[in-house]
Amino acid sequence: MGGCVSKTDRAGKQRSDEIDKQIEEDNKRFKRECKILLLGAFFLRLSWIRLGADCRCRSSFRLPPSFLGVPLVLVLAAAALPITPPLLPSLVRPSFRSLIYPTPHPDRRSSYVVRPPALLIPVAVAAPPSPLLRSGESGKSTIVKQMKIIHKNGFSPSELAEYRPVVYKNVLDSAQQVVLYMRKTGMECVEYANRALAEKILDYRLEDGSAARVPYFSPEIAEAIHQLWKDPIIPKIMDEHSSDFYLMDSAGYFFGEVLRIGSPGYLPNETDVLRARQKSVGITETRFTMGQLSIHMFDVGGQRSERKKWIHCFESVTSIIFCTALSEYDQVLLEEKTQNRMAESLVLFESVINSRWFLRTSIILFLNKIDVFKNKLPRVALERYFPEYTGGPDINKAAKYILWKFMQANRARLSVYPHLTQATDTTNIRLVFAAVKETILQNALKDSGIL
């Protein structure tokens, strides 16, 4: 099967080659770098900061300078945290026109220096961190990992090894969450012998297996989780009660692989890394190229306490990638049990797309986790949370309805390019980003005045 290439793949490759050629020709005119900023938070409390060519940010992190006034910044926004009513459109007062002044240059007698316009943008005031803010699993960090796999030759053995403690923690946390829910609701394992295993799992703590204090996941606890996973009550809880407690989307995958994960000498593979869940802290940068297009991607922490570290990166936004999880339609925010996460995502999208800040911006909308959505829809009715939906368990109708909800928020009539994505599927993301590359190129050419 690996040697079969569909007509769609061949057409996509041909189009990608054409785009690469066009970018190469365009690079003769000016140098371009595409900056991608990945966000995972909402604005809660706002204050003002002035950004401009001479701004000084408190954070030591600085974006590289723009090239000839045509920086291309993509914002991958993930809806995860609660916000107050949408203040962003009315608060933001930027100017989009770059200011060109004849300015002395230290290396030349005279030159034109392009200065980015000063922007007034809202900045979140620091707030105490909360352990409940981990719920923003929209898939933005998984997309960063995919870019490394697709465009940077993947992960080295040492980089894979760094994810070992993350995988261990994901497996143990997921198993303990299931057991805690069973204890809370009074459910018992069908197999009597598994009841003792459930208590053993709940009491287990990751051990330090070396002088380097690397967490050690014992084969015994792996076997206990494996046996518990085979108990009929566990799939029932995960299928019928997934909306009642927090459980990461990849819990089933890790339970199925737990014996391999618990074996001596375990080294995570790329699938494990893509499935692993780790809170984004600070700003993580990734550089890669798509053909001749240079990409500079920023993955930022989504917690409230992290916002002050990345908010200044909003300068000179040209395009936005907005990422939301289709499967979150039945989920609520852990810190606000009455707030539906899909509804919050729609509020953020409305705030972004109708902001004066983004009047000339195109929106690339990633409706992510289509695989989880497809499995959940027959079990958890979408109309239970969105009563106006009448399409039943039809995956196409449900996805189109959610897309319609997002498009209804587009009062500014910006160009929106939607994609159904599965961030853990490398083939899917490769094809999606081939289309995204074309969008990026077209926007860059328009922004530079070539088109």
For the stretch 299-318, pLDDT in tens is 655 544 444 455 445 556 56
pLDDT of residue 292: 75
- Please report the domains of the chain, with CATH numbers, ordered by start residue: 29-154+280-448 (3.40.50.300), 164-267 (1.10.400.10)
Q: Is 174 annotated as a binding residue?
A: no
> Token pair of 381, please?
């009715």
Does residue 75 or residue 363 have the better pLDDT?
363
**Mean predicted lDDT score pLDDT of the chain:** 72
Whether 185 has a pLDDT exceeding 90, the answer reads: yes
Q: Is 142 annotated as a binding residue?
A: yes
Give tens-digit pLDDT for 101-137: 233 333 333 332 323 322 222 222 222 222 222 335 7
Does residue 244 or residue 300 have the better pLDDT?
244
Interval 317-344 mean pLDDT? 81
Q: Is 262 annotated as a binding residue?
A: no
pTM summary value: 0.69
Give tens-digit pLDDT for 394-450: 999 999 999 999 999 999 888 899 999 999 999 999 999 888 888 877 777 776 666
Interval 154-160 mean pLDDT? 95
Q: Is 243 annotated as a binding residue?
A: no
Residues carrying an active site annotation? 137, 142, 277, 299, 303
Short-list 177, 279, 169, CA closest to 217: 169
Q: Is 301 annotated as a binding residue?
A: yes
Q: Which of 206-210, 312-316, 375-379 has the highest mean pLDDT?
A: 375-379
Residue 236 zone, left/alpha/beta (φ > 0; ψ -120 to 50; rest): alpha
The sign of the dihedral angle between the CA atoms of 397, 401, 402, 404 is positive
Q: Is 141 annotated as a binding residue?
A: yes
Interval 239-263 mean pLDDT? 92
Q: Is 369 annotated as a binding residue?
A: yes
pLDDT of residue 59: 32
Give tens-digit pLDDT for 262-278: 999 999 999 999 999 98
pLDDT of residue 60: 31
Residue 50: partners with Cβ closer than 8 Å, 6 or more residues away: 118, 119, 120
Interval 287-303 mean pLDDT? 71
Place of tokens 């001479």: 54
Interval 61-71 mean pLDDT? 32
